[in-house]
Amino acid sequence: MSSSDAPATGALLSVRKLTKLFGSFAACNEIDLEIQLGEIHALLGENGAGKSTLVKMLFGVLEPSHGQIIWQGQPVLIDAPGTARKLGIGMVFQHFSLFEALTVAENIALSLDSNIPLAKISEEAAKLSRAYGLPLDPNAHVADLSVGERQRIEIVRALLQNPKLIILDEPTSVLTPQEADRLFETLFQLRDEGRSVLYISHRLEEVQRICSRATVLRHGKVTGACDPRQETTGSLARMMVGSDVASVHHEGLDKKGDILLEVAGLSAPARTPFAMSLKDVSLRVRAGEVLAIAGVAGNGQGELFDVISGEYTVASDNLVQLRGKAVGAKGINARRLLGAGFVPEERHGHAAVSALKLSDNLVLARNQSDRKAFLSGRFLNIIRHGAVKQATKRICEAMDVRKSGEDPAAGALSGGNLQKFIVGRELDRQPSVLVVNQPTWGVDAGAASRIRQALVDLARDGSAVLVISQDLDEIFEVATDIAVISEGRLSPSYPAGELTREKIGLLMGGLHESKTHSEPAHAH
């Protein structure tokens, strides 16, 4: 059977008028969906369209407000993930839930609903991983594994339940192109066995490549269905957002000024057994420049962000300079006072406090100088709530943040909408230097375009922008210059027009050219 064919021999799962209300807000509104036996079915939509809410109802994490789930022709009540697994539904979430200090087999054991000896789990996991081309060592500690290998654990432990339907949420967001290809082969194998896959992704080229049908959600409702192989990425994006997705414009982004951010020969030991050490890293970012750093996850991106942001300081001030000031030994507040802004990779708990309102998160993220606009009183100890709410509204409007109320908790927003707010919160300060780690991870095409254009516009206005990203499409879309990080080492940087995907792939593998790592990444 070719990878483009998918048998349709009857409905495995159907939902009828499925609805989920949060107060008066309908996250899912009378959704109808049918998944056939032996098909890979895409679920498409913007952030906040209702995709996550829908699959959480299918997996028993959320209870529907009304409507019906029909499994193999029979209405069912899925009141818990254990119930879903017994029916034959498995799910691999976007965010991994693995304990790094435990082995692969121990992590799998924790997710099983019955007590099975660890030796038996190891044997079954090894056999299954070989059968599906997902090689795993059951005795390896998770901390020693790449992100791609961790993804395999999640898939293998779902497969150990012998599911008839597997739900995958953004499965390739952390994979290299080669790892994604291997995953697709596994999905074709599952489909050919008569299993079904519900595939959620913002990467429309993938959807066209592997899915035979797609259901599109917008604002909690089904707005269309199609064969994605008969569509273009542009037409799929239009179905998702209701209009054409704007491309990023670089006009005027050709004047580079002073060096605003410089890292010179910086080495830093790994802070934990699971971290990556930085080795002789040098880079420069000038006013009017977007320097993008590519690399496979786990090669030191987070550690580099922490050192540049001041969350982790180094012994010598001169190793990191902002606007000509040595700040290596100074913390994040000192760097913010010099006009720097930072957007970390992890939205919840790092960039935002999930339980707090957006307005409270805004105040927390401002430094002493910025915060004065929101405070009054002799000792600046009274919050001017009107000013805070006005600023929150301004940010939400500028970045098109979709939310269910005027000032909801950060955790109530979809991942993409929270990301737009966090980026907008930093842009609202008009920073002279902005450092962003994974700016559009798990973000839909429309939101990604808005965020990327905002980064380019900031550089055009004279700021220096450093983008750390695993998404090569994103890197080529925003960057004036590109460098690659591999095993804690940073390559020299190159004008974006001089690099191909193949060259970046080689650099990702550690094949740095014979320039010394202590020299600035690229001299303009």
- List the single range of 112-126, 203-217, 236-250 with lowest mean pLDDT: 236-250
pLDDT-derived band at 379, boundaries 50, 70, 90: low
45: β partners: 217
What is the reported pLDDT for 511? 64
Radius of gyration of the chain (CA): 24
For residue 475, give Cα distances in angstroms to 5, 264, 469, 497. Answer: 33, 23, 7, 11
For residue 351, give Cα distances in angstroms to 290, 354, 364, 443. Answer: 21, 9, 10, 16
What CATH code is assigned to 247-339+432-524? 3.40.50.300
Query: What count of other Cβ atoms lies within 10 Å of the Cβ of residue 107?
Result: 24
What is the reported pLDDT for 465? 97
Q: Which amino acid is residue 466, in one-letter code?
A: L
Choose among 243, 435, 426: nearest CA to 345. Answer: 435
pLDDT-derived band at 1, boundaries 50, 70, 90: very low
What is the reported pLDDT for 514? 41
Cβ burial, residue 378 (10 Å; 0-12/13-18/19+): exposed
What is the reported pLDDT for 329? 94
251 pLDDT more than 80: no
pLDDT-derived band at 413, boundaries 50, 70, 90: confident
What is the reported pLDDT for 452? 94
Residue 291 CB partners (closer than 8 Å, separation 6+): 283, 284, 285, 464, 465, 466, 467, 479, 480, 481, 482, 483, 493, 521
**DSSP result, 311-362:** SS--S-GGGEEETTEE-TTS-HHHHHHTTEEEE-S-TBTTTB-TTSBHHHHH
Q: Where are the domains of the chain?
A: 11-241, 247-339+432-524, 352-430
Q: What is the mean pLDDT of the chain?
A: 87
E strand or H helix that includes residue 33: strand 25-36
Contact 362, 396 (CB under 8 A): no
Alpha helix (H) ranges present in 173-324?
Answer: 177-192, 204-210, 233-241, 301-309
Mean pLDDT (whole number) for 442-467? 90
**For the chain, how long is the longest CA-to-CA vector?**
76
pLDDT-derived band at 4, boundaries 50, 70, 90: very low
- List the single range of 324-328, 346-350, 353-357, 358-362 with lowest mean pLDDT: 346-350
7 pLDDT more than 60: no
Q: Which amino acid is residue 267, in one-letter code?
A: S
pLDDT-derived band at 380, boundaries 50, 70, 90: low
397 pLDDT more than 80: yes
490 three-class SS: strand
What is the reported pLDDT for 387? 87
What is the reported pLDDT for 182? 85
What is the reported pLDDT for 518? 35
What is the reported pLDDT for 39? 96
Q: Which two tokens stand for residue 26?
A: 């309908």
Highest mean pLDDT out of 57-71, 145-159, 265-279, 374-388:
57-71
What is the reported pLDDT for 3? 42
Determine the Cα–Cα distance for residues 86 and 340; give it in Å rounded to an integer.
51
Mean pLDDT (whole number) for 451-464? 94
pLDDT-derived band at 510, boundaries 50, 70, 90: low
165 pLDDT more than 60: yes
The tens digit of pLDDT for each residue in 79-100 reads 999 999 999 999 988 777 888 8
Determine the Cα–Cα distance for residues 491 and 461; give it in Å rounded to an integer.
27
Mean pLDDT (whole number) for 52-69? 95
- List the single range of 66-70, 96-100, 270-274, 330-334 with lowest mean pLDDT: 270-274
- List the single range of 139-143, 257-261, 454-458 with lowest mean pLDDT: 139-143
When comparing pLDDT for 190 and 146, which is higher? Answer: 190
What is the reported pLDDT for 149? 83
Choose among 334, 311, 317: nearest CA to 264. Answer: 317
CA end-to-end span of the chain: 53
When comparing pLDDT for 11 and 447, which is higher? Answer: 11
Mean pLDDT (whole number) for 5-29? 82
Choose among 240, 67, 93, 71: nearest CA to 157. Answer: 93
451 three-class SS: helix
pLDDT-derived band at 448, boundaries 50, 70, 90: confident
Mean pLDDT (whole number) for 285-311? 92
Contact 426, 465 (CB under 8 A): no
pLDDT-derived band at 505, boundaries 50, 70, 90: confident
Determine the Cα–Cα distance for residues 247 and 234; give it in Å rounded to an integer.
11
Model pTM score? 0.71
Mean pLDDT (whole number) for 147-176? 85
What is the reported pLDDT for 115? 79
pLDDT-derived band at 523, boundaries 50, 70, 90: very low
pLDDT-derived band at 143, boundaries 50, 70, 90: confident
Mean pLDDT (whole number) for 131-145? 87
Do the domains at 11-241 and 247-339+432-524 have one common CATH topology?
yes
The percentage of the chain sitting over the pLDDT mark of 90, rounded to a whole number, equals: 55
Question: What homologous superfamily is domain 11-241 in, according to CATH?
Answer: P-loop containing nucleotide triphosphate hydrolases (3.40.50.300)
